[in-house]
Structure 1
Amino acid sequence: MEPTTTVREQILDHAITLIMLRGYNGFSYRDLSSLVGVKTSSIHYYFPSKDDLVLEAVNAYSNEVLGALHGINASLAADTKLSKYAKLFGRTLGDGNQICLCGMLAADIESLPDNIRQAVQAFFKANENWLAKVLAQGVQEGTLAVNGKPENAARALYAAFQGSVLASRLFHTKARLEDVEATVRIAR
């Protein structure tokens, strides 16, 4: 039997999904109200402003994704770690209509307050740092090809992963995501 989710958790879960589908400006408390079955005043009780809700959504999403990253076995070969990372992005796509919450918010960054901007930047940096370590390991093992410093390659690779979910959504195929992973893998 699944544990019952609270109204607050339901609001947050639906907000995360709506942001991934429509972005910051693509949903309202009225949308959440109809999805959760509560009045908008109840949503304001838990999240006084939309910015409060979005910051909480970024933090919850970041914790989940970064927790999954840290759950990847450190003793695995770098190319295997990268494959698992690519699968995380694939799960983000869902049915092919969602993109990374922080990637979606990055597109709206100029209309967001500094605390949300900093949370989104921290998410990007955490992913880039993890990828840099994996790329450095892959170079050492001879399983991944990297041009230049692993830190620079990690930023480019992360940007490619973010772009691939946009293109995958546009073309309704996860092949774009698979193409990104293939660019650094050494053929055996």
Structure 2
Amino acid sequence: MSTRSDLLSSAEILLRTKGYAAFSYADLATEIGIKKASIHHHFPTKEGMAIAIVESYLFRFRNQLEQINADNAGVIERLKAFAHMFAQSSTSGMLPLCGALAAELLALPDSLQALTRDFFQIHLEWLQANIALGQSLGELKAEHSALLIARLILNTLEGNSFVSWALSDAYAQSSGFDLLLDGLRVVPQRH
């Protein structure tokens, strides 16, 4: 990998474990084993580096969402795959990037605040589209709006990321996502 790629990868981990305000170029220089001046060569500002991290992550994230849709015909399986991404972050000892940024939203530069809001919108739009699809196919109950359900799912997954982070416990066992999903499913009636 190139120095720039190494910097972005390590800086993303620092953002997701320490937060934007708490990590510095000195941390990154120690992590990568280069001088701070070399980091400034690639990323003159911390804001510019963070923007590059989020944009790179968003590119990968959109691809993951497309892959989930391509790999899973059923909406229930898509939602489970979406939830699995949060569990993977927790297992790796990291907060979801959007959650880590949102926790510091008012301390972020305007450009990162806007990207963070966009990041959440991408989550909600994907969830809403899949929930609406599930409702139209009869997989999910239709008595609530797709947007309301999308917010509930995202709130549950993001919130559990922070609770599991604070308690250092197993994300998948404590998220409540399966319970939520069970309540949304349409149960076939027996005749």
State the match for 1:115 in structure 2.
Answer: 111
State the match for 1:184 in structure 2.
Answer: 181
State the match for 1:83 in structure 2.
Answer: 80
* Paired residue secondary structure (1:43): helix
- The whole-number CA distance in structure 2 between the counterparts of 1:67 and 1:80 is 17
Is the aligned partner of 1:43 residue 2:61?
A: no
Gap regions ≥5 residues in structure 1? none
Measured after TM superposition, the shift of residue 166 of structure 1 is 1.0
* Paired residue secondary structure (2:181): coil
RMSD (Å), alpha carbons? 1.7
CA gap of 1:40–1:146, structure 2 versus 1, over 3 A, is farther
Q: How many residues align?
A: 182
Equivalent residue letter for 2:32? V
CA gap of 1:76–1:182, structure 2 versus 1, over 3 A, is farther
Show CA shifts across 1:51-88 (max 9, x none): 11111111111111221011113461110100111111
Gap regions ≥5 residues in structure 2? none
* Paired residue secondary structure (1:26): coil
TM-score, structure 2 length as denominator?
Answer: 0.88
Correspondence 1:1-188 to 2 at 5 A: 5-74=1-70, 76-95=73-92, 97-145=93-141, 147-171=143-167, 172-174=169-171, 175-177=173-175, 179-185=176-182, 186=185
Show CA shifts across 1:95-123 (max 9, x none): 3x211111111111111111111111111
1:51–1:113 contact (8 Å) kept in structure 2: yes
